[in-house]
Amino acid sequence: AGGGRCRARGASPPRVMRLAMVCVSPLPLLVGSAVPRRPPARAPVPAVARAAWEVPGGPGVQRAAAASLGAALLAVLAALWRRLRGRRGRRAQAPPPPEAEVPEGYRAAGVLFYSRDKAGDVSHVLLGVEERKVPLRDLGQGSGTAKRRVLLFPQGKREPHDRGFVDTARREYVEETADPWGLADSLEEAITGKAPQLPSTWYADAKMAVVFCEVPERDVLESGGAGPANQALPLRPVWVQSAELRRALASTAATSMDVKTSLGWFPLFPVTRRFLQTAAVLRWLGVAPRGARGGARGTGRRRP
């Protein structure tokens, strides 16, 4: 009995069982090599970190960067559109030059060249310095007449061979200034029909037609401010800032106030001053009507 216990405790298993063990023992290795292994589970990402790096519906950081760039571009385009629309609105609201029908029996004609700033407002007006005999009472200098250097826009009487009032204005401008910047080409194009008709108005007090011709602001800034001095010419052209004109025209003084130019201080020629003080021209220049000026009273001053 004791030997049997010892045999049962230390003896090998029967032959059938040994064969089964030999056949079954490699099975886990074979099964393991045929079935793909499951990757190890990743640690869960906190919701806060996930929100910081991922966009809902996007693949991750790349989608977030693309979305941010797209939003920035849209914001820039929207800002540019608002700015462009605002400029167009301001330009559309800027008063156009006054227009009125010119009768066939006009006696004189003149031209006002001007430029506009980025906001669409009149920024410069071309006038000329000329020595003329003027009534001193119009200048607040007593009675009688005397020769004074005054500011006026190019103007002159009609000639029989003129093709119309625009041609008269062009001819007078060239004769008086020699056209140092080639501005007369715009008038010629309007005369020959190569360009649209220019705005013009009728100043009945002087039986004079006045043509308005806009030039680019950059041309004014590159002109040097004034034409060259020439004793053979009656008029020396000078670009006058509209702010200086508004200051002088807004004055309630009965006499002409001096206007500051790059050539010095000069009063406006009486005919030019009265034309610029008409309601339509004042609106075009941006001068408020007398009833709406407010603090404009007494803003004019004389040359020191």
| pLDDT tier for residue 212 given thresholds of 50, 70 and 90 | very high
Is pLDDT of 65 > 50?
yes
pLDDT (tens digit, 9 = 90+) per residue, 123-162? 999 999 999 998 888 887 888 898 999 999 999 999 999 9
pLDDT (tens digit, 9 = 90+) per residue, 223-282? 999 999 888 899 999 999 999 999 999 876 656 689 999 999 999 999 999 999 999 999
Is pLDDT of 50 > 80?
no
What's the confidence (pLDDT) of residue 53? 45
Residue at 43 is within a domain: no
Residue at 256 is within a domain: yes
Residue at 40 is within a domain: no
Average pLDDT of every residue of the chain? 79
In sequence order, which ranges of the chain are alpha helices (DSSP H)?
2-10, 15-24, 27-34, 47-53, 61-93, 165-177, 184-192, 217-221, 242-249, 270-276, 279-285
CATH number at residue 149: 3.90.79
Residue at 21 is within a domain: no
What's the confidence (pLDDT) of residue 138? 81
Residue at 230 is within a domain: yes
Counted domains in the chain: 1
Kindly state the DSSP code that residue 136 receives in the 8-state scheme.
G
What's the confidence (pLDDT) of residue 285? 95
Residue at 277 is within a domain: yes
Model pTM score? 0.66
- Which residues span the domain enclosing 170? 108-285
Residue at 112 is within a domain: yes
pLDDT (tens digit, 9 = 90+) per residue, 5-41? 343 344 445 554 454 454 445 544 444 545 555 656 6
pLDDT (tens digit, 9 = 90+) per residue, 69-98? 888 888 888 777 666 655 554 445 678 999
Residue at 77 is within a domain: no
What's the confidence (pLDDT) of residue 10? 44
Range 214-245 burial, b when 16+ CB lie within 10 A, else e: bbeeeebeebeebbeeeeebbbbbbbbbbebb
Give the Å distances, CA to CA, from 151 to 97, 176, 186, 271: 20, 13, 23, 10
